[in-house]
Every structure is written in C-alpha cells, then in structure tokens.
Structure 1
C-alpha cells in the first residue's frame, strides 16, 4: 500500500544554514540537539538508500501484481467450472485492488519523502493530500480484508453445501458482492469528511493515518475501533470458514474409496490452499497495525501514554511497514500455490525421496550377510 523508509537524524531540511563562523556552528548544533532531546523538534532528512528502498519496494509490488493478474486472467478465460470462475473473479478483483492500493498511496508517500516530509509541529494538522492519503490507507486496507473474508465464506459454502452454492452463487451476485465491499470500505474511509474521525500526519511525517497518538477525541477512538474491529472481524471469519473448509476436505479424502477419483475435490483443495495463504499473509501483515492502532488511541485518549509515546510511534511505523507487504505478498499466493506449481514441487520432492531411498537401500543390513558368506566361501 505504501512504503516507509528510515530517516537520517544528522540534519534537518527545515533548519536555516549557519555559516558565520565555527563558534556559531557549534552553538547551532548544541541548540538543535537540545531541542531534539527535549522532544520539541525531530531531525529528519531523507537518505539516498531510503529512496532506493522505496522505489524497489514499489517496483516489486507492481511487477508481482501484474504477473499474478496475467495468470488469473488467463485462468479465468480457460475456466469452465462456475465455482472456480467465481473464485477467480474474486481473486482477480483482489489483485487489482492490491495493485492500485500499492501504486497510489506509494506514489504519494514517495512524493512526501522526496520533499522531506512535513514539519513535526504540523503532525496533528491535515491538508487535502493527507486526507486523500489517509482515506486511501483505510480504503485499500479494508478492501483486501473484506474480500478475503468473502472468498473464504464462498468457498466454505461451496465445500460444505455444493448444491446450495450452485443455486445461490452466480457471476452477477459475485459482482454485486464486490461492489458492496468497495462501497462499504469507501464509506468507512470517508467518515472524516463528516467530522466522524480525523486523519493526521504520522511520525516521521511521510504518511497519514487516523489520529491515534495526540489530541485524540472520542470520535477518533470510535473511528479506530470501527476500522480495527472490522479488520479483525474479517480475519476471524476467514479463519473460521477456512478451518471448516479444510476439515471438510480432509474428512472427504479420508472417506474416499481406494481407486476413486474426484477432479472437483482437487480444484477445491487448490482454492482452499490459496485462501489459507491469503489469510496467513493478511494476519501477519495487518494484525499488528490493527492492534497497535487500537492500543495507541485508547492510551492517548485516556492520557496514560506518558513517556511511552516514542514506543507507540515506533510500533505504528512498524505496523504500517508490515501492512505494506500485504500487497506485495498476496500476488505470490496465486503465483506459487497453483496446482501446476504444487505438482512440480511434489514430483521433485518425491524424486529426491526416491533417490535417498535408493542410496539408503545400498547400505541396508541385509546386504552384509551375503557379502560375508561370499568372503567365507572364497577362503
């Protein structure tokens, strides 16, 4: 969704130059260091290595999503099973959302980074770009979570109740469901436009999010609770649905008679494996930001954050960096967890196991008595 990089605290682009003598240079340095230690000023300056990391991260995310989109579009055009086509429609929409969510906020963050960010005293303010960037983060954060939940519920219905699934789930209803998901995420992201919450620049001044660390009000707490609650609920529902689907497929495979073949089950297994990959990726990438945001806004609103403010700033930055990787890792779930790739991995592993078995068979204990008897006969 966006890329954040480290800052160098050796200088600041907002400080006026001091060049009237070495004494004034020393006094200026002491003055600036004192402000930094008191917490009244944050010394930031973008580094060349940081910009390279941002560009590489954006490039990797764009390439990954384009490759996954090409694979999904090709599979969708060749698919004849309606249940698989519905899943591919969901997956393609998710990859498109990830692609746009990685490109637009990432470009805005890169622009802020190149211009040195905003002043620390302006962290609690919000201009037009901050409103758009914060809304983009909320929108493109909720959409993948909602879609992952909807995909898990659809597969759970398809695995446990295939007849009901075939009568209820259609391509038209799937498109309506996707429209509702996008509309719901957009409504949540636009709540600050109606004074129901607010966006603000976050430390180190290169990204915007819901106001969680200072000057928080009751509406900010409600906004964060809504955002985190919806995200965590989506992850929990996806976990339950994928667990039910996985157990159903395992039980069906155990009950299958020897020699019988069910091609439909192989498609179901592939889809459930991909959904589990999406769920694990989303949990790892998004849970820290959802939890840290909830903890930060509650501590800030109750006034108990105290000297731990810097720690919570660090947690928020770490959480958004992990969330950034969701748009990069999601496409690789479809690239790597396909039947063709998994079959090749299985064949390679089976071949390696067979080679090891042949090597071990040469050193089996049963081979030694015959050799000993041969030696005795020769004597």
Structure 2
C-alpha cells in the first residue's frame, strides 16, 4: 500500500478533530455569562479541552511512526498511555454530564441542596483527570505492558497476555469502561422518562387551556432538543466506545488474532473526540431552534399544499390578511374563556362582553 494511502486516514482524523474542537471552544467562549457559571458548561468545556488534547497528542505520534517505522520503547509506552487515558477520561466526563443533567431535572431539590455549580464541576474534572492518570499509569508499574499493534502504527496494552496480572488489568479497564457506558445510558433514559412524566403531570394539574398552551409552546422545543441531544450522545458513546471494549474482552478471553477488527475498533474510539464537539456544542439551543423553525415551515407548506380547494372561512381569511376585526378577536377570547374550567368563567365572559 502506498504511503499516501496509509497517511490519509490519520491526517484526516487529526485535521477534523482539531478544527471541530477548536470551533467548539470558540463557540463556548461566546456563551452567555449565566451559562458559563453552570456546572454543565464547565463539564462541556472540560470535554472539549480533553478531546483537543487527545487529538493533538496522539495523532501526531501515529503520523510520525508511519513516516519512520522504528518505535522507541518510551514512545510506545506514552502512546499506549494516551489511548488508555483519553478513552476512559472522555467516557468519565460524558457520564458525569449525564448524571449532572439527571440530578438537575429529576431531583432539583437535591441538586440545589448540594450546591452543584461550576466549582463542583471543576473538582469533578480534577478528580477525573487525577484518577484516570493513576489508573492508566498502572501498566508502567507492571500491571500490564504496551506492545505495538498491527499494522504497527499504534501501541496498546497486551490484551492477549496470559500473565494473571496483565489479564486482570485488561478486564478491569474494559469493566470500568462498560460501567461508564451503562451509567451514561441509564441516566439519559431516566432523564427522558422524567421529562415525559413531567409533561403529563403538568397537563393534568393545570386546568387553564391558555396556560397549558403557553407551557407547551415554551417547553416542547426545549424537551425535544434535550431528548435529541441525549439520544445522539448515547449513539455516539455506543458506536465509538463499545467496539474497543468488546475487542478487549474477546482478545483477552479467547486470545483471537483478528488484527483488522482491532484496528477498526481503535479507529472508532478515535472518532469519539471528533464527534463530541458537534454533538455537545453545535447542537446548542440557537442552532436547534433554527432547524426546528425551518422544519415547521416545511411541514406547514406541505399542509397547505394538501388542503382542499374552495372558499375559506372568513375568520381564517382575515387572520391570514392580518386584518382581524373586533368580532374575530372577541370570538378568540370567548373561545379561550369557554375552555377555562375555573370558577372565574362568568366574570371573564362579562368582562369580554363589556369590551365588545
């Protein structure tokens, strides 16, 4: 295979990862002040910085080793450490973000009592970095060893070793990664369920049709955005992280030699920091509302195209022409009043009649 073809994939992944994460950090820097002071914003910043560092540190080593084949042992150990650390660190931050959102929405009183803010989020990031550095340094202390993996362009732990301590570390790393994935999915599913339950309860507890309509208009977009973000997050975590975890379990348990599957798994894991900024930053509220309004316009245009031809009601015609008369306005007000089940209906009707 030509050298240009071998270099194409790592160079492309490096360029897209750097551009995406730099764009994400630039977008975050322009966020409003009240959002910057939130715990979620701090965790998103930590994720963007982590992904950028991982891309800038790991990808150049891969590109350099393709150009010059010999691997110094220290460089191989360092590359293996980078893949281990940034893989589990990204999962840890994503899991923390999901847990923070679940706690804020499902248990707001506990969230307020614990005073979860940007300072707590910074301590969480510090704990994640410190804990993962110690955990990923264990191979240097003899818990495992780093070897070159075919096609000898990357280094990783020896996941086919028969040494008990090495086997233990492989299963420990895969088990912790699996736990982070499961907790992330569980928090996302629980949060979606909480939002659905909240929507149903508000619809039952609030009798006024105008209030219910106002709440739906204000919250439906936020709910859809939140659920879309969580679903995409879950898919990214599953698609990018699961193959490598599965390969660790399979290689260490059955000692198979499927080099192509190993290479594809590490490439999928490397795509994770490339997709994260687009999921967490570019799917922010402003972009989402623009896409949502555009889709509503398209759907409205389709609905108008399938309406039967014929005379339109006078009220609808006047509303479309922006020339609503007092009669139309009174009809709208009376319609809202009659939908009201509260004891103040009679007073509201008399008030409308006086205006007419």
Whole-angstrom distance in 2 between the partners of 1:341 and 1:359 = 27
Change (3 A) 1:319 1:363: farther
Q: Return 5+ residue gaps in structure 2 as ranges.
A: 207-211, 313-356
**Are positions 1:203 and 2:150 aligned together?**
yes
Cα deviation, 1:160-191, whole Å, max 9, x if unaligned, reads: 11121022113222211111111111111100
CA distances 1:294-317 after superposition (whole Å, capped 9, x unpaired): 1101222xxxx4xxx2xx211111
Q: 1:109: Cα distance to partner?
A: 0.6
CA RMSD of aligned residues (A): 2.4
Q: Distance in 2 between matches of 1:107 and 1:58?
A: 8
Counterparts of 2:82 and 2:120 in 1: how far apart (Å)? 26
Q: How far, CA to CA, are the matches of 1:241 and 1:334 in structure 2?
A: 16
**CA deviations over 1:200-228 (Å, ceiling 9, x no partner):** 11001110001023x54212211111111
| Residue aligning to 1:293 | 248
Task: Indicate if the aligned counterparts of 1:246 and 1:272 stay in contact, CA closer than 8 A.
Answer: yes
Counterpart of 1:109? 62
1:327 equivalenced with 2:273 (yes/no): yes
> 1: distance between equivalents of 2:172 and 2:35?
38
Tell me which residue corresponds to 1:97.
50
Distance 1:363 1:279 in 2: 46
Which position in structure 2 is the counterpart of 1:33?
Answer: none
Deviation at 1:355, TM superposition (A): 1.4
1:65 is matched with which residue? 21
Query: Do the aligned residues in 2 keep the contact of 1:292 with 1:316 (CA within 8 Å)?
Result: yes
Give the 3 Å change call, closer, same or farther, for CA 102–145 of structure 1 in structure 2: same
Q: 1:175 to 1:63 in 2, by over 3 A?
A: same
Given that residues 155 and 272 in structure 1 are in contact (C-alpha distance below 8 angstroms), is that contact kept between their aligned partners in structure 2? no
Change (3 A) 1:130 1:110: same
Q: Residues 121-160 of structure 1: matches in 2 within 5 Å? A: 127-160=73-106
Stretches of structure 1 lacking an aligned partner (at least 5 in a row): 1-7, 9-45, 119-125, 367-379
Q: How many angstroms does 1:158 deviate by?
A: 0.7
CA contact (8 A) 2:39 2:120 kept: no
Alpha-carbon offset, residue 274 of structure 1: 3.0
Q: Deviations over 1:245-280 (max 9, x none)?
A: 111112212333413439689667645643443232
Q: Which of 170, 180, 195 matches 2:117? A: 170
Cα contact 1:112–1:206 (8 A) shared by 2 = yes
**Aligned to 1:74, which of 21, 25, 30?**
30
CA–CA distance in structure 2, aligned partners of residues 117 and 204 of structure 1: 13
Task: Report the 3-state secondary structure (helix = DSSP H, G, I; strand = E; otherwise coil) of the residue aligned with 2:143.
Answer: coil
Specify the SS of the correspondent of 1:80.
helix
Counting only pairs closer than 5 Å after superposition, residues 222-301 of structure 1 correspond to structure 2 as: 222-256=168-202, 257=206, 258-261=212-215, 270=225, 273-300=228-255
Task: State the TM-score, normalized to the length of structure 2.
Answer: 0.78
C-alpha separation in 2, matches of 1:94 and 1:278: 13
Aligned match of 2:301 in 343, 347, 355?
355
Specify whether residues 92 and 81 from structure 1 end up closer, same or farther in structure 2 by C-alpha distance, changes over 3 A only.
closer
Question: Does the 8 Å CA contact 1:117/1:206 hold for their aligned counterparts?
Answer: no
Count of residues paired in the alignment: 301
CA distance in 2, matches of 1:134, 1:47: 23
Relative to 1, partners in 2 of residues 1:81 and 1:136: Cα closer, same or farther, differing over 3 Å? closer
Rounded to whole Å, the distance in 2 between the matches of 1:199 and 1:363 is 73
Deviations 1:109-160 (A, max 9, x none): 1110111366xxxxxxx71001000001000000010111111111111111
1:180 equivalent in alignment to 2:127: yes
